[in-house]
Chain A
Amino acid sequence: MAKRSVLGLFTEEQVDEAGDALEALASAGYTTTEYEVLTGTPYPEGTFGEAEPKHKLFRWPLTGAACGFIIGLVLTAGSQLAFPLVTGGKPILSIPPMAIIMYEGTMLGAIIFTIIGILLESRLPRLFMGAYDKRITEGYIGVTVTTEEDRIPRAEEVLKQSGAGDITRGWESK
């Protein structure tokens, strides 16, 4: 079935009402993937009681750093063991010079994996704008519901009851 979106607009002062709208939508049976908050400025996380977005960005530099460290360790230890030249009576596996290469490897791995991570975590751009109101950029708060067409009237009702000033509809996808 075709999906539609509906937007309820709240003023800058109606932060609590926007939060109430999310609660009411949840009570009415809408899932967290069906509604979201649109703002012109980043409100502190959890202001509207919305679900905290999950990302795994921090895992990328950690993984890259671990890989880089291992490669640095294998490269330095491996080459010294393959060509065992005793220099100045020092042990074959001499930690201080190995640490420099391992550090460089760790940093390089972290940077490369971070760039890959940003690209993958960013995902595809949003293809459909859905219902939108330019007053959101002026400070208004939008609560948008994207769902099957037959569930839109109920969503509108919930938004109105929560105190939304204006309600607008828009196409999301077919």
Chain B
Amino acid sequence: MASHNASGHNEEHHAEGMYVPFTSQREVVNDLVTKHDKISDKWLSGVAAAGFLLVLGVIGFVMRVNDGVSDRMVWAYYAMMFSFILTTASAAPMVAIAPRLANAHWRRPVSRVAELWSAAGIFSLLLFIPMLWILPPLTDGRRSLWFYNSDDPFFSKVPVYSPHIWTTAALLSLAALGIMLLWLSAMPDLALMREHSTGWKQKWSARLSGRWIGTTEQWNMLHHRMGIVGALYFMMLVFVHYLVSTDFLMTLVPGWIDSLYPLTHAANSLQAGVATVILTMFFLRKFGGYEDYFTLDQFWAMSKLLFALSLLWFWFWFSSFNVFWYGKKPSEQAVLKYLMVGSYQPAFMAGFILSFVTPLLVMMWNRVRKSFWGPTIMSVAVLAGTFFDRLRLYVAAWSYPGVGDYRVDKHEIPFDSIPAANMPGVPDVLIVLGVIGGAVLFYLLAARLIPPVSIWEQKELMLYKLHKAYHRTEVLVLGKPR
């Protein structure tokens, strides 16, 4: 029989990775509010480290600004990091949306961890602002989604800044939906903090929680709103990836015509989003004091998702590759040579191995999936693989000679003059570090205002779980809401 300690902990089940070892709502509230109120040294160290990296990034950015925006090549690594944050942090909230719609219990502590990454959506918006200057208008003669044609009396009237306008609108919508989702999901917890916190946190919680008092109607409405806003976030995420991957990537590479790639870009982001959340869970468990909430169940369930999405990585890549390789037109061969087997081959191989081969060979074993370290190490591999994949695509696209110059042909890469790889300089390295630091800093600051583990969803679990004797053992019985 499981042993219980004074605080209601069920140590045997805890060790097995079962659900939260508390038996009453008050215990959950006390535990999570105490954890959230305490400013730990580890949090301060994280903020200091992330802030330091961000400062380095700002220095790198200033160095690049001194070079101007007319030469797109010097901004290639900046564009890559913008897409990297869009692929990782902005996709992380999807981990909260899908399992919540499926009423899964294991996702209760995971949901807020994922939603908090929507705070980094504001950071990706800030990162996007310089991109508006760097991306040339459609007058350079490149292909585009927008039917612009300077020689046609009708289509020459299409705004030449259409990519800038529509991508800005889509990114703003995505950031707004992310913040709305976070705010809705956090509202009951903000009301709780309104009653239990002090100082600035109490003041902000009171403002943000509005008049939430927990009536049946308010709970009902919250449930429906979260479902609808979550669905809209998913639709907008795919749309943003569609626009960014075409206007800020594919159209810059002459001859790269692939109707599947925008979806590949979005699917890659789901994989990277899951990896981001697993890594965040690991840090919260290891350094945040949330080991009672992020148990083997959460890591096991998330690792299955990561494994499935890693297999999907290959499907998408191969579907596109096969068309180019089998078609073998000179323009297609040149694109393959430029992006995969030429000077960016090391980055492509790193992405292929880290995003697909390693997860396939390692995560096929259940013992690895059902562990703390296995999914975490694989998440690091997937994020590194995503980094290299974005590097070989975005850096190659923005480094292609003639971007913004209408005198250079934009329809085919000459097969015998494939450009060399654009290697990073000191400002690029600083920008890479700064962008990662900035995203982490936004997350850490948001986690000070909103608890990184959803308190009301943990309390709700108390209503549905029951430890029950079963012959010579004890089992955990979980009910399903709604």
Whether the pair B211, A129 counts as a contact (CB closer than 8 A) is: yes
User: Which of B54-62, B213-221, B316-324, B433-441 has 4 or more CB atoms under 8 Å from chain A?
Assistant: B213-221
B260 to chain A, nearest CB (A): 17
CB closest residue in chain B, given A51 = B216
Whether the pair A137, B211 counts as a contact (CB closer than 8 A) is: no
Which DSSP category, helix, strand, loop or mixed, fits chain B's interface? helix
Whether the pair B25, A118 counts as a contact (CB closer than 8 A) is: no
Given A39-B219, A53-B220: A44 and B482 interface contact (C-beta under 8 Å): yes
A125: CB under 8 A from chain B?
Answer: yes
CB closest residue in chain A, given B195 = A134
Number of interface residues of B (CB under 8 A): 34
Whether the pair B24, A12 counts as a contact (CB closer than 8 A) is: yes
Among B24, B219, B225, contact of A42 (Cβ-Cβ < 8 Å)? B219
Among A44, A53, A57, contact of B217 (Cβ-Cβ < 8 Å)? A53
What are the residues of chain A within 8 A of B235 when measuring CB–CB? Answer: 111
Could you tell me the distance between the alpha carbons of A147 and B465 in the complex, rounded to whole angstroms?
A: 37
A90: CB under 8 A from chain B?
Answer: no
Extra inter-chain contacts (9) besides given A53-B220, A137-B214, CB under 8 Å: A36-B217, A40-B29, A40-B192, A42-B223, A42-B460, A45-B220, A53-B216, A57-B228, A118-B229
Whether the pair B213, A136 counts as a contact (CB closer than 8 A) is: yes
B210: CB under 8 A from chain A?
Answer: yes
B94: CB under 8 A from chain A?
Answer: no
Whether the pair A43, B26 counts as a contact (CB closer than 8 A) is: no
What are the residues of chain A within 8 A of B211 when measuring CB–CB? Answer: 125-127, 129
Could you tell me the distance between the alpha carbons of A137 and B202 in the complex, rounded to whole angstroms?
A: 14
Among B221, B232, B459, contact of A40 (Cβ-Cβ < 8 Å)? B459
Whether the pair B210, A37 counts as a contact (CB closer than 8 A) is: no
Could you tell me the distance between the alpha carbons of A126 and B215 in the complex, rounded to whole angstroms?
A: 11
Whether the pair A40, B482 counts as a contact (CB closer than 8 A) is: no
Number of interface residues of A (CB under 8 A): 32
Whether the pair B196, A134 counts as a contact (CB closer than 8 A) is: yes
What are the residues of chain A within 8 A of B65 when measuring CB–CB? Answer: none
Interface 0/1 of A38-70, CB less than 8 Å to B: 111111110000100101010000000000000
Interface 0/1 of B349-360, CB less than 8 Å to A: 000000000000
Could you tell me the distance between the alpha carbons of A130 and B229 in the complex, rounded to whole angstroms?
A: 30
What are the residues of chain B within 8 A of A50 when measuring CB–CB? Answer: 216
B396: CB under 8 A from chain A?
Answer: no
A10: CB under 8 A from chain B?
Answer: no
What are the residues of chain A within 8 A of B223 when measuring CB–CB? Answer: 42
What are the residues of chain B within 8 A of A12 when measuring CB–CB? Answer: 24-26
Whether the pair A138, B228 counts as a contact (CB closer than 8 A) is: no
Query: Would you list 19 pairs from A and B whose C-beta atoms are within 8 A, ordered by A residue?
Result: A38-B213, A39-B216, A40-B214, A40-B456, A41-B214, A41-B459, A42-B460, A53-B216, A53-B221, A57-B228, A111-B232, A118-B229, A122-B221, A127-B211, A132-B213, A137-B214, A139-B26, A139-B29, A139-B462
